[in-house]
Amino acid sequence: MVSYESIYQGASDNLSPSYSPKAYDIGTTDMGTLGMAQDARTANQLGALKTTLNPGQKVIEIQGTSAEVWESVPEQHIDEMRRVMKLTGVKPSFHAPTIEASGFSQEGWNESNRESAEKQIESAVLRSQRLDPDGNISVTIHSTAQLPEMIKKVKTKDGEVILNAFAIDPVSGKAQPLEQGKRFFREGEKFTGKQIKFEPQKEIDNLNELQWHNKLAGINTQISNGESSIEHAIRVNVGDEQDEEEKNKKIKKGYEIIGKLQAGVDVNRLGREESLTKEQMLDISHNANHSAIYFKDAYANMKAIFDSAYANASGEDKKKLAAFAKEAAPKVKNGLKFKPEEFQDFKEVVSDGLKILGGIKTPETFKPLNDFIVDQSSQTFANVATSAYKKYKENTPIINIENPPAGGGLSRAQDIKELVIASRKKLVKNLVKDGMGEGQAKKESKKLIGATWDVGHINMLRKSGYSEKDLIKEAEIVAPYVKHVHLSDNFGFEHTELPMGMGNVPMKKIMKKLGEKGFKGQKIIEAFQWWQHFGEQGGGNPFKPTIEAFDSPIYAMKGGPSWGDPVGASSYYSGHGPINTPIHHSVYGAGFTTLPSDLGGEIPGGNQDRFSGTPMQ
């Protein structure tokens, strides 16, 4: 007996629960709410669009993921894509180039890099508006690009553990790691003999204290060396008085002699005038030169530390530093090239500067890199949104900040939440500055800046020991800010980007959490890795296996079967095989294939009349 397994290729697979799409329990989703991301590897997005349109989805994400690729897309292509999508009733979204919005690079951070990144992102966002000039196109932008996770956490049987973190000096723009060492002693805490838990903020506080102490100690040493050289020379060669008033007179006299020597007065003549020998004069001159070098070094370091402290200071400390600078600046108008008669003032400025710096709160020279990146990136996103709003008003593109693969910078829910909030606050500030009321500015900020939640990216937390429950919690944290979703699957270890249903992403539970907070945005299928290996070899489009996994209804009225129900649906309803197959009828009847060829069948027979038995001429 002929079985259906031999008739319909792949039919037996659909009977196995381990391979059935519905076995993943993703939940029923209308395929009309799903969209496809185009192939990000090509600048011919117009050509790719024709292929993407074939399965009939109504949402398509145009790819500009690579800055080089997107800038290669001609304006004519963008306009033609808009016309094609309008004719076919397709709603576009856009994936902007992956650019480090904070301006941080391998060399560190500087404002010019951030401004350059801002201009590049702004250009991409403004161009994307051409795809949907009458709407508010969703523009996905990664929170970071190539940055590692700046607070590295893992989940163990004892709970969440921080392995390491990074700190940055905002003035120099240099970052450094905070490695988890074995520490047992900490001020103000009871000594237990057990290793102290690694806490990045406390490590940064200790680092700031140590750095500040070392800097001030260095200046103090230089001042002490300078003063010792001069006072030794004066005491030995001019006179050492016990009376304080007489001692000050001698010191003043000594400085006058040093000033004259540095001004080039003849040593012999000056010695006669001051009743000192040539040897005494040379000793004074020698020590004076040494002293000047020490004070110059102290001044240079004091000035650098002052600048750093003033940049990070606030409140009363900032007022103290400002008052010192106003009083000191006229005394050191020539800087390190001070004139001999300015030496005493120069020395006093250095000494007074050390006192002022030693009396203020320890500056936050180093700050958590994670917080710093949020601050700088939010400025970029807010400025881009401001620029776009000025140009397009109610049709401004919506910036949705995406979580990169777990293990990358700002890849967790709390990171995205903080970045969105910070970006919105800065956008409000920009809009109010331009004359908008604060209430309206807040409303616009919530509309124009949100989050894209990539379910495949966050699933990669599994390799750091996190469970499905943890992934659902991540979705719950970010849910109020999510306006757009990226769909892909993996097994939690590699960024494989499989169609949904092929890995272990808890899609149904994630979408439920997002839905509880009102998510109704676009859901875009990203399956580039799978597409790369199968799409070019006749494997087709990742849209088909995804709608099977989502158990999407076949018919618009949603009352009939779903894509996950029929045996062999993957062959029949996707253009990979005929619906009314001849082999079915040849086996089970009601077909023509068993008739003689002269009657339209496939059985060979003579050319004769079927009723008389005589050949037909």
Q: Are residues 140 and 253 in the same domain?
A: no
HEC secondary structure over 512-535? HHHHHCCCCCEEEECCHHHHHHHH
Q: Give the CB-side neighbour count of residue 37, counting CA atoms within 13 A.
A: 31
Q: What is the pLDDT of residues 87-118, one digit of tens each?
A: 999 999 999 999 999 999 989 999 999 999 99
Residue 485 corresponds to which amino acid? V
Does the residue 590 lie in any domain? Answer: yes
354 and 411 share one domain: no
Share of the chain above pLDDT 90, in %: 43
Report pLDDT for 189: 74
Examine residue 302 and state whether it is found in any structural domain, yes or no. yes
pLDDT of residue 299: 85
Confidence band, pLDDT 50/70/90 cuts, at residue 563: low
* Residue 402 pLDDT > 80: yes
pLDDT attached to residue 108: 95
Shared domain for 214 and 347, answered yes or no, is yes
- Return the pLDDT at 449: 98
Position with higher pLDDT, 528 vs 380: 380
Is residue 573, in this structure, part of any structural domain at all?
A: no
Query: Is 574 domain-assigned?
Result: no
The residue whose two tokens read 């395929």 is 31
Higher pLDDT, 210 or 30: 210
412 lies in the same domain as 520: yes
Higher pLDDT, 398 or 332: 398
Model confidence at 586: pLDDT above 70: no
**In-domain check, residue 394:** yes
One domain for residues 53 and 89: yes
**Which one-letter amino acid corresponds to residue 334?**
N
**pLDDT tier at 68 (50, 70, 90 boundaries)?**
confident
One-letter identity of residue 144: T
Q: Tell me if 175 is assigned to some domain.
A: no
| The most confident of 63-77, 190-204, 278-292, 460-474, by mean pLDDT | 460-474
Same domain, 477 and 602: no
Confidence of residue 234 (pLDDT cuts 50, 70, 90): low
**Element of type H or E holding 358:** helix 343-358
What is the pLDDT, as a whole number, of residue 598? 58
What would the pLDDT profile of 132-191 be if each residue is shown by its tens digit? 999 999 999 999 998 999 999 999 998 999 999 999 999 899 999 997 767 777 777 787
CA distances from 280 to 55, 235, 257, 262 (A): 99, 11, 11, 15
The pLDDT of residue 559 is 59
User: Do residues 400 and 511 share a domain?
Assistant: yes
Average pLDDT over residues 576-595: 55
Residues 390 and 518 reside in one and the same domain: yes
Q: Write out the two tokens for 130.
A: 């051409």
Do 519 and 422 share a domain, yes or no? yes
Q: Is there a single domain that holds both residue 532 and residue 594?
A: no
- Of 151 and 348, the one with more pLDDT: 151
pTM score of the predicted model = 0.76
* Domain boundaries, position 602: 582-617
Kindly state whether residue 20 falls inside one of the protein's structural domains.
no
Q: What is the per-residue pLDDT for 175?
A: 95
| Domains in the chain, number | 3
Residue 31: its pLDDT value, please?
Answer: 63
- According to the model, what pLDDT value does residue 129 have? 97
Residue 325 lies in a domain: yes
pLDDT tens string 240-290 = 556 667 666 666 666 677 667 666 777 777 777 777 777 777 777 777 777
The verdict on 462 and 334 lying in the same domain is no
